[in-house]
Structure 1
C-alpha cells in the first residue's frame, strides 16, 4: 500500500466524528469552515477545546499543538494571566465605542517594542491592519501604486490578493514577476494599481521602481516571507529596501502580523535592525484575541487626521486590549523569549539529526518561536526557488503522519511554519521528535522512490 493510502486510512479511522460534523456544517457554511484556508481533504479536524499546548478534537484525540492558531497563540491556549483579565473585563463591558484608558496603555506597550512607532491605531485583524496601512502609506506619499513581494501574503483585501501562490507557468520573468490576481471578484482596475517584485533581489526591485517612477507610493513586505515556509532576507536586503524607499520617496511598510513579537520583542524591525515607516500587527500581540494594530512615524500616522479613513466599531475595544496589555507585560517576558528560543533550537537540532540519520534530504528554517521543515537540501531564497524545490506530496505525508501520532506540527500545508508557545516544554519537543522518528523511515522511502 502506498504511503498516502495508509496515512489517509489511519486519519479517517481516528476522526469519524470530525468527518460527520464537517459534512453537517457544509450544509450551512460554505466549504464547512469559517476561513477557506481551513478546509482540507479528506476532511478537517473538528476541535472540541484547547488548553495550554494541546488541542482536543471531537473524537477524543489530543494533539501537541504547534499550529497555535496560525501563529496567533505564542501565549499557548487559554493562558491563565490572559484568561483572568478578560474574564474580569467581561463583567465591566466588552465594547464602549468611546475612548477609554486602555487605548493609551496598549499603544504605549507597542511603542516600547518598536522604535519606529510614534502613534498607534487599533484594528480587529491582520487583514484590516494591512488594508488601512496601505491607504495611509499612499496618502502620505501622494502616489497610488503599491509594490508587493511575489509569494507574500498580507491578508485578503483586494490589493494584496495577487501573486501570493501563483502557478509557475503564470509567473512571468523572475526579475519582473507577472501580476496574477488570485481571487474572483477583484476588479482588474484594482490590480492595475499593484506591481510585483521578487524577494532577495535589490537590483530587480530598483528596476521596477525606475520603470514606475513617480507612481509607486507604498512598499509592503513580510520581513520573513511566511507564505512559503520561512523565506528570510539575505544580506542587506531589508536595509537596501529602506534606502530605495528613501530615494524614491516611498512609504515602507513592515507587515509584522506573523513576525511581530514572535521572533523578537520588537519583531523583525528589531531582529534585522531596520526602521520602517509603518508596522502592521495582529496575531500574537493579543493572546489569541482578535486584535490588530497599525503603528508608525508621527508624520505618516498624521494622515489619519488629514483625511485617510480609518473607522471600525470594534476597534480598540476594552476586551481585546486587556488581553494585549497582559500579553505584552506579563506573558511575553524576557524569560519567555529565552525559553521559547531554547525549545526552538532543540526542535531544529532534533529534526535535522533525524533527517540525517534516515537519509532524508531536508533542513529547517528557524527564528525564535517560528520554524519550518523543508524536505530539500536546496537553499530557498525566493518564491521561484520554493516552487521548484518543495515536494508538496511528501509534505502532506509528513503532516498527516504527525497528526496521526498526536502532533500538530504546524498549520496544514507545506507553506506554513510552527509556533512554539510559552506553554510548550522540553517534554513536548521530545514527544514531537519521537513521533518524527516513527514516521521518518517511511518518508525517506517515499522521497527516494
Structure 2
C-alpha cells in the first residue's frame, strides 16, 4: 500500500504538531495516515487508498460518513445564523428528545466532550455529597483528567492484588496526590467492591463506571452486577455515575441503563449522541442535577461552547433518523451476524479467538475464554491480535492495532460491506493457522 503522501505530510506537520497528531491514539508506526474523504462506510487517504472503516470515529459516526439526509436536516436547523454562546429553542427541543430516549434521567445538560462531561459529573457529585474523592474501575478509560485517568490500561506488574487494585497514574504529569486519592475497584466483582467501599466510603463522592467496558474491547456487566453496584452506592451514600459515552444509543435507545432498567444517579453520554459532532451530556436525577443550576449552593457548569448550535442541530437530526430508520435494530442484527460467522470460522480453523459485541460495537479476543475484567482481557494474545489486524489492514480494512481497544460498524455498513469484512477476517485468520 502506497503511503508516500502521508509520509511527506508527517515530516512536514511534525515540525508544528508534536507527533503529527492532535489525538495520540491516531498515531501509527511508522507514521500516521492522513485522510481526505469519507463517505458511507469508507474513507480515503491522501494517497487515494480506500479503506472499509471499522473504527468510525471510535463509534461516534453511527449513521455513517457524510449521510445526505442527516446533513440536510442539520443544515436546515442552522439557517438562523446563531452558532454559540446563546440559548435557543433548539436546545430545548434537543433536551426533550434526549430525555425521551434516556427515560431513566430527569434532567440533562449539554457540554462538548466526554472528558468535560465526566469532569462536570464529578463536580456535581462532590457538591451534592460534600465528599471529595472518586472511585473508578481498573482498566477503564473515563477521560484524561487527573481524578479519573487512574489505572487506565495499567501495567499488571504494578497493579497489585486483583481484589484491591493499586491506584496507578494513567499518564505522566498527573498530580500524585489526586491519583493516590482515587480508589480503584475490579470490574464484575461485587464482594471486593463492598470491602473497598466499607473501607473508603466516608471520602467517596462518586463511582464512575462503564456499564459495559468498551475501551478494552467489549466486556459487559450483567443486570445483576449493575443493580448490585447501585445498591452498594445507595448503602454507602456514593453517587453512581454510568459512563455511557460508548454504550449510549448502541446498547439500547437510552443506553445500557434503559436496557437493564438500572438507573444511575448521574450518567454521561457522548460519541454517537450527535453522529460524530462534538457534543456530550450529563444527565440524571433532578435532585442531584439541580446542584448544577445557577445560584447559591451550586457548582459551576459553564462553557462558551456548551449547547453549541451546530452540535445541537446534529444531535436532534441524528435522534430523529435513529428512530425513523430503526438504526439500533439494524446494528444489532448485523453485529450478531458478524459475530456468529466469525466465531464459527475461527472454530473451524481451531484458532483460540472470539469476537464479542453489540449494537455495532465489537472486538476480538485471542483467548480461550471470554474476559470478565481488564486483567482477563490483558492476558489475551497480543501478538496474534496484531498479526490478525495487520492482515486486515493489508486488505484495506481500517482497524486498530491496539489489542485493548474497540471497533464499530455503522448504519452505512450494508450487505456488501459486511461481506467484505467477513471475507477479510477469514483471510486474516488464515495467516494464523
Instruction: State whether residues 228 and 416 of structure 1, in contact with CA within 8 Å, keep that contact through their aligned partners in structure 2.
Output: yes
Distance 2:387 2:4 in 1: 20
User: Which residue in the other structure is 1:5 paired with?
Assistant: none
Moved more, 27-36 or 345-354: 345-354
RMSD: 1.5
Distance 1:150 1:302 in 2: 30
User: Which residue in the other structure is 2:110 paired with?
Assistant: 122
Q: CA deviation at 1:340?
A: 1.3
Distance 1:331 1:380 in 2: 31
Q: Gaps (5+ residues) in structure 2? A: none
Q: CA deviation at 1:49?
A: 1.0
TM-score of the aligned structures, taking structure 2 as reference length: 0.96
User: Which residue in the other structure is 1:142 paired with?
Assistant: 130
Q: CA deviation at 1:357?
A: 2.2
User: Which residue in the other structure is 1:423 paired with?
Assistant: 412
Match of 2:344 among 346, 353, 376: 353
Q: CA deviation at 1:374?
A: 1.1
Instruction: State whether residues 78 and 310 of structure 2, in contact with CA within 8 Å, keep that contact through their aligned partners in structure 1.
Output: yes
Instruction: State whether residues 75 and 332 of structure 1, in contact with CA within 8 Å, keep that contact through their aligned partners in structure 2.
Output: no
User: Which residue in the other structure is 2:315 paired with?
Assistant: 324
Match of 2:36 among 42, 45, 48: 48
Show CA shifts across 1:115-167 (max 9, x none). Answer: 22111111111111111111111211221110100000011111111101111
Instruction: State whether residues 226 and 415 of structure 1, in contact with CA within 8 Å, keep that contact through their aligned partners in structure 2.
Output: no
Question: Relative to structure 1, is the Cα distance of residues 54 and 268 closer, same or farther in structure 2, using a 3 angstrom cutoff?
Answer: same
Q: Which structure has greater helix proportion?
A: 1
Distance 2:313 2:98 in 1: 13
Instruction: State whether residues 94 and 318 of structure 1, in contact with CA within 8 Å, keep that contact through their aligned partners in structure 2.
Output: yes
Distance 1:39 1:114 in 2: 35
Q: Gaps (5+ residues) in structure 1? A: 1-12, 445-449
The 3-state SS of whatever aligns with 2:213 is coil
Distance 2:338 2:292 in 1: 44
Distance 1:69 1:413 in 2: 15
Distance 1:254 1:205 in 2: 16
Instruction: State whether residues 260 and 267 of structure 1, in contact with CA within 8 Å, keep that contact through their aligned partners in structure 2.
Output: yes
Q: CA deviation at 1:172?
A: 0.6
Q: CA deviation at 1:186?
A: 1.2
Q: CA deviation at 1:189?
A: 2.0
Distance 2:326 2:103 in 1: 21
Q: Does 1:369 align with 2:360?
A: yes
Q: CA deviation at 1:406?
A: 1.4
Distance 1:125 1:292 in 2: 5
Distance 1:346 1:357 in 2: 17
Question: Relative to structure 1, is the Cα distance of residues 196 and 243 closer, same or farther in structure 2, using a 3 angstrom cutoff?
Answer: same
Question: Relative to structure 1, is the Cα distance of residues 152 and 422 closer, same or farther in structure 2, using a 3 angstrom cutoff?
Answer: same
Q: Does 1:405 align with 2:395?
A: yes
Distance 2:94 2:307 in 1: 9
Instruction: State whether residues 82 and 287 of structure 1, in contact with CA within 8 Å, keep that contact through their aligned partners in structure 2.
Output: no
Question: Relative to structure 1, is the Cα distance of residues 258 and 127 closer, same or farther in structure 2, using a 3 angstrom cutoff?
Answer: same
Q: CA deviation at 1:413?
A: 1.4
Instruction: State whether residues 77 and 288 of structure 1, in contact with CA within 8 Å, keep that contact through their aligned partners in structure 2.
Output: no
Q: CA deviation at 1:425?
A: 0.5
Distance 2:326 2:292 in 1: 37
User: Which residue in the other structure is 1:386 paired with?
Assistant: 377
Moved more, 196-205 or 113-122: 113-122
Q: CA deviation at 1:376?
A: 1.1
Q: Does 1:312 align with 2:303?
A: yes
User: Which residue in the other structure is 1:38 paired with?
Assistant: 26
User: Which residue in the other structure is 1:112 paired with?
Assistant: 100
TM-score of the aligned structures, taking structure 1 as reference length: 0.93
User: Which residue in the other structure is 1:28 paired with?
Assistant: 16
Q: CA deviation at 1:88?
A: 3.5
Moved more, 130-139 or 331-340: 331-340
